[in-house]
Amino acid sequence: MSKSIFREYDIRGIYEQELNESTVKNIAYYFAKEVLSKVPNAKYISVGYDARTHSEQLCEWLVSGINQAGLEVLTMGLVATPINYFSNFVEFDGKKTSASIMITGSHNPPEYNGFKITIDKQPFFGDDIYALGDKVIDNTITIEDHINATFVDAKEQYIQYMIQNFSHLQLTDKKFVFDCGNGAAGSVLREILDGLKLNHKIIFETPDGTFPNHHPDPSDAHNLIDIKKKLETKEYALGFAYDGDADRIAVLSPKYNFKGDVLAIFFSQFIENPTVIGEVKCSQMMYDIINEYGKAIMYKTGHSNLKVKIKETNASFAAEVSGHLFFNDRYFGYDDALYATLRALELLHNGFDYDAQYEKLPQLFATDEININTTEEKNF
């Protein structure tokens, strides 16, 4: 086992090397014990997984560890990460989860996988993850297979929630293109769009953990070539692309790719007295503009950091340049690329002209991520 799998925001490693049967079962066991110590009357942990080829096996190992610790599992099968988060805010025939684990490698190469974790609706990260890692490394026990779990249809509840909350959209005169990148977005997107009677074209829809068409990272321009070709036909008003687990989005018109800080300006204009949290990579211009009619707060990069800051400040919205968008206005304060899609379409419904509004902005300078190839050991 490598301690390097215990990261600031999640647990992540290579399947069967760092994420092997013993390690995963022990992670689940000691995490469930943590839930029991922190949440009064805890009974359930909800677990979902993305499209990676080994996600289902990791799910069985997690279920075994959770059962060994004395909690029960509500399993939802293949879902997008936002649906896993959503499970914390709803009930399933009277059953209510006290924590959640999403099995996902997000936008990492196919051999990777990992866990995004919450307790009592809040992210489990930083020192909590490091402490969990210490327990797992110091106290490894043998856990037999015990894969009994209760299936809950979180996906259907999520679909109905989205359809009910965006039933007012009237966009039949426009067409939109969506690139799921063979990630988890493809497991749910069509049903939402059809339910809202939106005119759409979906490419690379089928979830496939080998990612046969392109890598599911919309922050990398190389992965947007296919959707840009569709937009060049001028047939589509907007395009949307997702990462592997659908908590990150790219929003494009035929002319522009609107990064997270630009979208923060656009969305905040339709929120009364907005408080908006950005991160250090956002343009200073974003903060200056939003401060003219609301309040903008600069904070640390990282989805877990921003969720905690949203709760602390009761902010309306938060954004990362990379496409993590967090709506606390009319929503639950976590990053959800599918919900962000519908809010983006709602702007069009309200008469918003993306290109014209973008061209009115002063020039924005933002910091793109710089990624350097290295080993996990050298990284740390």
Give SS3 for 277: strand
Active site residue 167: no
Q: Where are the alpha helices (DSSP H) in the chain?
A: 21-38, 55-69, 81-86, 127-138, 154-165, 189-195, 225-232, 260-268, 284-290, 303-313, 337-349, 354-360, 376-379
- Rounded Cα gap, residues 136 and 127, in angstroms: 14
> How far apart, in whole angstroms, are the C-alpha atoms of residue 335 and residue 307?
8
Amino acid at 132: L
Q: List the catalytic residue out of 46, 106, 219, 268.
A: 106
Of 201, 261, 186, the closest CA to residue 231 belongs to 201
Whether residue 45 contacts residue 118, with contact meaning beta carbons closer than 8 Å, is answered with: no
> Using CA atoms, how far apart are residues 314 and 329, in angstroms rounded to an integer?
9
Nearest to 113 by CA among 104, 100, 122, 121: 104
| Whole-number Å distance between alpha carbons of 357 and 212 | 36
- CA–CA dist 260, 167 (Å, integer): 25
Q: Which residues are catalytic?
A: 106
